């Protein structure tokens, strides 16, 4: 079936049809080949201006987007909250409207507030790509996760995928959940009861509060980074206790299928949520996720740019 991309924005996987998600993954396959060539650059976005507007600081996502834009031959401007007029009390919308007035074609944006990109996309004509909004979504991370799973397992539908950790505060988990559900995977969420809301069961996701249940039968296990500030906020008693009950280690790894993939969106707290040896072991696909992120972001930039009014 021929699927056309018709969106000027990529805000959330919740908005996309399964066909649109597959279209992005298929397009990324093509761009992955570009990155494997000697000459890694294509002229797909030549003459287009992309502004990377990171209101919330980011390293890996920003670098990945920047490289993807360079490989597509776009002109790039990088802005952060501290280098913008937000510092002077300008509203977010005014700041973005000024970027738009400079005829930026695409704005890649990260923000600490859920829905900030939805709010901006509604109010401007430039394309908006969500590079992470609060705990709401991180669609390109989920797409690279889906891409990696599909590459390794040959399919998504019917796989058992477990996501472990601080689901409550995780934009990665939310985007993964929508992407996986839409492509037919069985999703299990696991972690401390304070960080894994039961409300997710209402959309057909399994919720459990011990790691073993999430490991047995899993084709993929995705460990999320646990942040120390959650401990201070009273969600769990200590990092040690977290690691003991919810960390993947050499001892409990026996419950995992030998061919199960170990994933992590990074940055890893080694030996907290994930044992160092496992992170570097044969089941880990963590660095391949990073590599695939580039291809996925090239695909998203390419598709969205193709839908902009000239």
∠ Cα 42 48 49 (to 5°): 120
237 binds another protein (CB under 8 A): no
> Least separation, in Å, of the C-beta of 191 and another protein?
14
> Least separation, in Å, of the C-beta of 130 and another protein?
12
279-289 burial: b if 16+ Cβ within 10 Å, else e:
beeebbbbebb
Are 76 and 66 a contacting pair, CB within 8 Å?
yes
> Least separation, in Å, of the C-beta of 91 and another protein?
6
Going by C-beta distance under 8 Å and a sequence separation of 6 or more, which residues neighbour residue 167? Answer: 173, 189, 191, 195, 196, 197, 200, 224
Query: Distance between CA atoms of 191 and 245, rounded to whole angstroms?
Result: 9
**204, burial (CB in 10 Å: exposed 0-12, middle 13-18, buried 19+):** exposed
The only residue of 27, 61, 118, 140 in contact with another protein, by rule CB under 8 A = 118
Q: x-or-dash pattern for another protein, window 62-91, by CB under 8 A?
A: -----------------------------x
136 binds another protein (CB under 8 A): yes
> Least separation, in Å, of the C-beta of 153 and another protein?
26
The only residue of 116, 214, 218, 285 in contact with another protein, by rule CB under 8 A = 116
User: What torsion, rounded to 10 degrees, do the Cα atoms 32, 37, 40, 41 define?
Assistant: -90
192 binds another protein (CB under 8 A): no
Q: x-or-dash pattern for another protein, window 12-31, by CB under 8 A?
A: --x-----------------
Query: Distance between CA atoms of 107 and 54, rounded to whole angstroms?
Result: 10
> Least separation, in Å, of the C-beta of 271 and another protein?
28
Query: Distance between CA atoms of 107 and 127, rounded to whole angstroms?
Result: 6
Q: x-or-dash pattern for another protein, window 172-191, by CB under 8 A?
A: --x-----------------
134 binds another protein (CB under 8 A): yes
Q: Which of residues 215-234 bind another protein (CB under 8 A)?
A: none
197 binds another protein (CB under 8 A): yes
Size of interface with another protein, in residues (CB under 8 A): 26
Distances (CA, A) of 78 to 63, 64, 219: 11, 13, 38
Taking phi over 0 as left and psi of -120 to 50 as alpha, with beta for the rest, 183 belongs to alpha
137 binds another protein (CB under 8 A): yes
Binding site for another protein (CB under 8 A): 14, 91-93, 111-116, 118-119, 134-137, 168-171, 174, 197, 199-200, 202-203
């Amino acid at each position: 079936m021929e699927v056309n991309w018709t969106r000027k924005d990529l805000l959330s996987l919740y908005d996309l049809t399964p066909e649109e998600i597959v279209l992005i993954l298929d397009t990324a396959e093509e761009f992955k080949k570009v990155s494997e060539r000697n000459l890694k650059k294509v002229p797909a976005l030549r003459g287009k201006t992309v502004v990377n507007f990171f209101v919330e600081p980011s390293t890996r996502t920003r670098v990945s987007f920047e490289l993807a834009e360079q490989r597509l031959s776009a002109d790039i401007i990088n802005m952060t909250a501290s280098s913008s007029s937000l510092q002077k009390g300008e509203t977010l919308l005014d700041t973005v409207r000024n970027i738009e007035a400079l005829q930026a074609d695409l704005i890649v944006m990260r923000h600490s507030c859920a829905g900030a990109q939805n709010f901006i996309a509604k109010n401007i004509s430039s394309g908006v790509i969500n590079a992470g909004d609060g705990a709401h979504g991180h669609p390109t991370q989920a797409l690279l996760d889906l891409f990696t799973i599909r590459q390794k397992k040959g399919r998504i539908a019917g796989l058992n995928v477990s996501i472990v950790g601080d689901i409550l505060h995780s934009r990665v988990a939310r985007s993964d959940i929508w992407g996986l559900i839409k492509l037919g995977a069985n999703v299990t969420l696991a972690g401390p009861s304070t960080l894994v809301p039961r409300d997710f069961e209402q959309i057909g996701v399994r919720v459990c509060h011990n790691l073993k249940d999430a490991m047995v039968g899993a084709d993929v296990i995705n460990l999320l980074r646990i942040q120390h500030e959650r401990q201070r906020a009273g969600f769990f008693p200590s990092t040690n206790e977290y690691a003991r009950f919810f960390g993947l280690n050499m001892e409990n790894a026996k419950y995992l299928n030998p061919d199960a993939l170990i994933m992590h969106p990074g940055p890893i707290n080694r030996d907290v949520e994930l044992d160092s040896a496992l992170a570097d072991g044969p089941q880990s696909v963590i660095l391949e996720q990073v590599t695939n992120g580039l291809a996925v972001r090239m695909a998203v930039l390419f598709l969205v740019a193709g839908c902009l009014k000239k």
